[in-house]
């Protein structure tokens, strides 16, 4: 399971360009994680940590995708975030995880002792700043998500989701969806059938095309943007 890589360098630390592109600006922290952490491979659908477990580690996605979610009593599941390569997750203020995290696809993830990072932050103001920036970025992501959930219509929500993804992993106009329709549904607060239907509807409107169910091509971004803010 463990593949502790010696982690050569990580090129040069780009001089802290915050926000935007995820990996930049977190470099000394990011580099520290790569040095101190262990590389672990998780297979699809495996739980990385559960709700309520003590938050002893910090995680950074190297490859694959992870979802953070909460299980509700009625069996429903609320997906609060998707974590893509380069992103850090598992950061908690309290001592326990308020969410669970699961690998959506086979993923390799760097795992670091939280205490080690916090100790580092206590000594190094730059690390502390980056930790804070990271949290704030999470906040921003969550605000975007909330905005999407605020929409009443299904088309608006799906459109918002697609644009959000396009911003994060834009290979031109094509998006590769790592998550299932059910994941999307739980992320958007919709039924899986509604997600599916809305997708095909957008395709019929010539707004997108679906070469396969997991690949989306944005044909008309303007039309998508018109649906949300």
Binding of residue 147 to its own copies (CB under 8 A): yes
Binding of residue 86 to its own copies (CB under 8 A): no
Binding of residue 28 to its own copies (CB under 8 A): no
Quick one: which of 54, 143, 182, 213 contacts its own copies (CB under 8 A)? 143
Shortest Å distance, C-beta 43 to its own copies: 27
Tell me phi and psi for residue 17, to 5 degrees. -105, 105
* 8-47 exposure pattern, b = at least 16 Cβ within 10 A, e = fewer: eeeeeeeeeeeeeebebbbbbbbbbbbebbebbbbeeeee
- CA–CA distance, 104 with 24 (Å, rounded to integer): 24
Q: How many residues bind its own copies (CB under 8 A)?
A: 41
Note the residues at the interface with DNA (CB under 7 A).
152-155, 180-182, 189-200, 210, 213-214
Residues of this chain that bind its own copies (CB under 8 A): 18-19, 70, 72-73, 76, 78, 80, 92-94, 98-99, 122, 125, 128-129, 131-133, 135-140, 142-143, 145-147, 149-152, 186, 189-191, 228-229
């Amino acid at each position: 399971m463990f593949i502790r890589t010696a982690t050569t360098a990580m090129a040069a630390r780009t001089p802290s360009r915050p926000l935007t592109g995820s990996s930049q600006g977190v470099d000394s922290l990011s580099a520290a994680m790569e040095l101190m952490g262990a590389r672990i491979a998780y297979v699809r659908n495996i739980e990385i940590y559960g709700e309520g477990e003590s938050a002893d580690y910090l995680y950074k996605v190297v490859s694959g995708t992870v979802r953070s979610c909460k299980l509700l009593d009625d069996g429903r599941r609320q997906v609060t975030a998707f974590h893509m390569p380069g992103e850090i997750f598992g950061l908690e203020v309290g001592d326990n995880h308020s969410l669970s995290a699961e690998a959506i696809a086979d993923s390799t993830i760097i795992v670091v002792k939280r205490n080690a990072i916090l100790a580092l932050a206590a000594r190094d103001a730059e690390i502390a700043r980056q930790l804070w920036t990271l949290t704030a970025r999470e906040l921003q992501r969550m605000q975007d998500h909330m905005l999407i959930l605020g929409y009443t219509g299904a088309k608006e929500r799906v459109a918002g989701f697609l644009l959000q993804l396009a911003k994060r992993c834009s290979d031109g106009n094509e998006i590769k969806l790592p998550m299932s329709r059910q994941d999307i549904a739980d992320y958007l607060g919709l039924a899986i059938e509604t997600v599916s239907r809305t997708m095909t509807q957008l395709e019929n409107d010539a707004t997108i095309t679906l070469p396969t169910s997991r690949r989306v091509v944005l044909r008309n971004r303007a039309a998508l943007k018109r649906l949300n803010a």
